[in-house]
Structure 1
Amino acid sequence: MTKTNAMRMLDKAKIPYETFEYEFNDDELIGLHAAAQIKTLTPAQCFKTLVTRGEKKGILVFCVPVTAELDLKAAAANAGDKRVEMIHVKELFGITGYIRGGCSPIGMKKKYPTFIDSTAQNFEKIAISGGKRGLQIILNPKDLIEFVGAIPCSITKQYDLR
């Protein structure tokens, strides 16, 4: 396996992690699909990385469980902004250096304010994107929070399945 930028950065910082590779296709919800394949973690332990633009604060990064959705009002409040909105997928690579489905909170082009749903702290290990589609990094959430300077907060709501 070729090391991704996220993996190289964790190696350099001597942060322990495991990797998990999985098959995917473009029609699937990548986060839920990956979570279903990682048998050692529950879906609530698998986090997706979402990139938003705040009205005042600019680019903001949020890590939330794949089983929930980002609550934009809570996200804005925690970031100290009036409102935030998801960036367009076409902007993702230019802003982060990552593509949709492979966006990791580790190793973006710039260091953006990062927030992680506080539920991450309930677990010994969580999974995040490894920096490319089909790859997850499994690590201790405390290590991730400290390494990227993430702020744990309540930023999710459950999917409305009606």
Structure 2
Amino acid sequence: MAKKKVLKTNAIRLIEQKKIPYTEYTYEWSENHISANDVAAQMAGKAGQIFKTLVAVGNKTGPIVAVIPGDEEVDLKKLAKESGNKKVEMLHLKDLEETTGYIRGGCSPVGMKKLFPTFIDQRATELSLMIVSAGRRGLQMELKPTDLAKVVNGKFVAIVATE
């Protein structure tokens, strides 16, 4: 039986080009189950490490990227303040692929069409390894939070909604 060839994504190519160690994970997905919580359900023992990538638009900066724990919500006011914007709103889903090169459920903070200002929730600094999308539905990568920040020029900040 021939070995199945896995197509590399922009995210993985960039991580490898920068010689950053990572671990690749695959999981089953469907159109109805592509949220970070659905991924976590399939990656037992890793749920607390899974972060989702959200893209917003600031009134001054344009597109900005938020990387937050998979089970949390982004606080748009905090994100606006941290990013130097007065107002931030989520990027319309219809504009995601054109803006980033990625589709919903496969949006990685690494390897977007442009390097947008990226804000990683500070909870990532409490982990030795975190998991983010590797640029395709059904594909995740685990790496050090500091390595992720380095490759996307990210800043660790408090941007999740608190009760």
Same fold flag (TM > 0.5): yes
The SS at the match of 2:107 is: coil
Q: Distance in 2 between matches of 1:20 and 1:124?
A: 17
Question: Once the two structures are superposed, what CA deviation does each residue of 1:71-112 show, in whole Å capped at 9, x if it has no partner?
Answer: 000000110111100011000000000000000010000110
1:29 Cα deviation (Å)?
A: 4.7
- Return the letter of the residue paired with 1:36: A
2:110 to 106, 129, 136: 106
Residue aligning to 2:20: 15
Deviation (angstroms), 1:39: 2.5
Task: Report the AA paired with residue 93 of structure 2.
Answer: V
Distance 2:20 2:44 in 1: 23
Q: C-alpha separation between the residues in 2 aligned to 1:47 and 1:57?
A: 23
Q: Confirm or deny that 1:129 pairs with 2:129.
A: no
Question: Given residue 33 of structure 2, which amino acid in structure 1 is its aligned partner?
Answer: E
Give the aligned partner of residue 43 of structure 2.
38
**SS of aligned partner of 2:113:** coil
Unmatched runs of 5 consecutive residues or more in structure 2: 1-5
- 1:34 partner letter: V
- Percent of aligned positions that are identical: 44
The total of aligned residue pairs comes to: 158
Query: After superposition, what is the alpha-carbon deviation per residue over 1:93-144, rounded to whole angstroms, capped at 9, x for unaligned?
Result: 0000000000001000011000000000100111000100011011111110
Give 1:18 deviation, angstroms.
Answer: 0.5
Q: Is the 8 A contact 1:24 1:30 kept in 2?
A: no
1:83 maps to amino acid? K
The amino acid of 1:55's aligned partner reads N
Code of the residue aligned with 1:149 in structure 2: it is N
Structure 1 residue ranges without an equivalent (≥5): none
Give the structure 1 partner of residue 100 of structure 2: 96
Q: Distance in 2 between matches of 1:132 and 1:40?
A: 22
SS of 1:16's equivalent? coil
Q: Does 1:65 align with 2:69?
A: yes
Contact 1:20–1:137 under 8 Å retained in 2: yes
Please say if 1:115 is aligned against 2:119: yes
Q: Is contact 1:130-1:137 (8 Å) kept?
A: yes
Please report the RMSD computed on the Cα atoms of aligned residues, expressed in angstroms.
1.2
